[in-house]
């Protein structure tokens, strides 16, 4: 097989606690054909093992190595910038585990970085502490800039909302590693062992999944089971290479065609033409 896939999860593979029709069959087909793939998530709370366990309980035959999180991307980025560095963390176990795994120490005084992820136990005391550290010279890094997160009970403020508070108070801009950052997608391609031109991104959100793919030069597939509707596409100056109703309508041959050399996209993104 000459290519691989990066797959968003919420809105592509499942909604809430239910698999989207055809998702299990598609994933099994990837495994049967020995296609390398990674599930990408901008949720920094869980470790890759936690995420893999959730997917297995939903009926998907995946392993831990199939998961790539924004926590992993953030920790890898920081370890390359400052090997053996220190961080004050606003976030949960997935982020802290990734930082530890990449040689970082979690501290509550004089950190190299203030790193912000999702958290359900955020306190104003943490915000005050982080603000003082940033003013003193710590660099502000976000696992992602998503303003909100979907839950079973509805939306709650996301990492981006917390980061915006710190940015406003400190007068600085955070560096974000998660989607749509090309850094996260590029490192996920490295995790696959493939160059970006041999990887297809499948997502449901134009402003993260598809934008990140376009910025890095990946081929992209938009599914209409999540955040983006067909009528929304006129708002964007960029477009996916392929649009399908759901992951269950994504044919394996269509994905393979996107890996092929000498392909170009016609004015209608649903149609592939040979160059």
Whether this prediction's pTM lies above 0.85 is answered by: yes
| Active site members | 8, 10
- Assign domain 4-42+179-274 to its CATH superfamily: HAD superfamily/HAD-like (3.40.50.1000)
Which of 75, 76, 6, 15 is closest to 41 using CA atoms?
Answer: 6
209: number of CA atoms within 13 Å, CB side? Answer: 28
Per residue in 51-70, pLDDT (tens digit) is 999 999 999 999 999 999 99
Helix 70-81 with 93-101: angle, nearest 10 deg: 40
Question: Higher-confidence residue: 156 or 273?
Answer: 156
CATH 3.40.50.1000 domain locations along the chain: 4-42+179-274, 81-176
pLDDT computed for residue 268 by the predictor: 42
Token representation of residue 89: 């963390």
Token representation of residue 108: 């509550």
User: What mean pLDDT is predicted for residues 123-136?
Assistant: 97
- Cβ neighbours of residue 236 closer than 8 Å, sequence gap 6 or more: 206, 210
Class of domain 81-176: alpha beta
Per residue in 147-178, pLDDT (tens digit) is 987 666 777 888 999 999 999 999 999 999 99
Per residue in 182-239, pLDDT (tens digit) is 999 999 999 999 999 999 999 999 999 999 999 999 999 999 998 899 999 999 999 9
């Amino acid at each position: 097989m000459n290519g691989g896939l990066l797959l968003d999860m919420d809105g592509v593979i499942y909604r809430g606690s239910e698999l989207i029709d055809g998702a299990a069959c598609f994933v099994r087909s990837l495994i049967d054909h020995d296609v390398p793939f990674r599930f990408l998530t901008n949720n920094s709370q869980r470790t890759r093992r936690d995420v893999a366990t959730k997917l297995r309980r939903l009926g998907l035959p995946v392993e831990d190595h199939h998961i790539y999180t924004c926590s992993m991307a953030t920790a890898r980025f920081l370890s390359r910038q400052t090997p053996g560095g220190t961080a004050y963390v606003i976030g949960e176990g997935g982020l802290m585990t990734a930082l530890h795994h990449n040689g970082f120490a979690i501290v509550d005084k004089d950190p190299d970085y203030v790193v912000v992820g999702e958290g359900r136990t955020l306190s104003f005391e943490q915000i005050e502490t982080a603000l003082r550290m940033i003013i003193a010279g710590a660099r502000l890094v976000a696992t992602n800039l998503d303003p909100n997160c979907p839950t079973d009970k509805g939306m709650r403020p996301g990492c981006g909302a917390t980061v915006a508070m710190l940015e406003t108070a400190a007068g600085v801009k955070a560096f974000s590693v998660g989607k749509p950052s090309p850094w996260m997608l590029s490192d996920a391609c490295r995790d696959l062992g493939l160059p970006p031109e041999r990887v297809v991104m499948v997502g449901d959100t134009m402003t993260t999944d598809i934008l990140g793919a376009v910025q890095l030069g990946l081929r992209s597939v938009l599914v209409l089971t999540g955040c983006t509707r067909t009528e929304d596409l006129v708002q964007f100056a960029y477009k996916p290479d392929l649009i399908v109703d759901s992951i269950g309508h994504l044919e394996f041959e269509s994905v393979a065609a996107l890996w092929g050399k000498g392909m170009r996209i016609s004015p209608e993104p649903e149609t592939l033409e040979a160059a």
